[in-house]
Amino acid sequence: MAPHESWDEQLFALFDDLEGQAAARFELERDAELVDRSRSVYHRVSLDSRLVASLGEQLTLEVAGVGRIDGELQRVGEGWGLMSGHAQDWIVRTAAVRVVQGASERSVPEVAWSPLHKLGLGSALRRLAESQARCIVHLVEGTQHEALVRRVGSDFVEVLTPSQARLLVAFESISAVQSRD
């Protein structure tokens, strides 16, 4: 207690000190609550939403049945991404992605996606069928087929091999489609 302070001043100083302590305690509790809340909400963040936030970035993907793919992420749709590599483009099914390196810290919630981001794997494969581009279809267990995409069904793609064999390949068995031309 300072000798020159009145009783009122001392009382207000005590209240100011208590308010400061309460504010500091509130900030600590609020920060802890925000961290806890952000952790509890993070379970809603999907790989696709992190990839949408990573458009234009150089990424390294580890893909089942393929291995490592390095390149720029150019497009993301629902369940797939388009990577532009050194000499090839890759349509990668996100369900086959095992590891992503170089992704943005952010995510873009699905409600903020453009209509193009909501196009599925079938849309990307239909573009290949229209362009008549040769490609290599990589399957999740490691096999691959050099092919020309002919038609795309709701959950499969019909391809024509160089020996003229027609194959129906289920979307869920595809890990990636690699450009050949």
3-state DSSP of the chain: CCCCCCHHHHHHHHHHHHHHHHHHHHHHHHHHHHHHHHHHHHCCCCHHHHHHHCCCCEEEEEECCCEEEEEEEEEEEECEEEEECCCCEEEEEHHHEEEEECCCCCCCCHHHCCHHHHCEHHHHHHHHHHHCCEEEEEECCCCEEEEEEEEECCCEEEEECCCCCEEEEEHHHEEEEEECC
For residues 29 and 59, state if they share a domain: no
Q: Same structural domain for residues 11 and 87?
A: no
Mean pLDDT, rounded, for 110-133: 88
Residues 71 and 108 in one domain: yes
Please indicate, yes or no, whether residues 135 and 153 belong to a single structural domain of this protein.
yes
Residues 64 and 133 in one domain: yes
Residue 65 sits in the same domain as residue 22:
no
Residues 103, 168 within the same domain? yes
End-to-end CA distance of the chain: 85
pLDDT beyond 90 at 58: yes
Question: Do 150 and 131 fall within a single domain?
Answer: yes
Q: Quick one: pLDDT at residue 148?
A: 96
Q: How many domains does the chain have?
A: 2
Who has greater pLDDT, 144 or 37? 144
**Does residue 2 surpass a pLDDT of 70?**
no
What is the domain extent for residue 175?
47-179
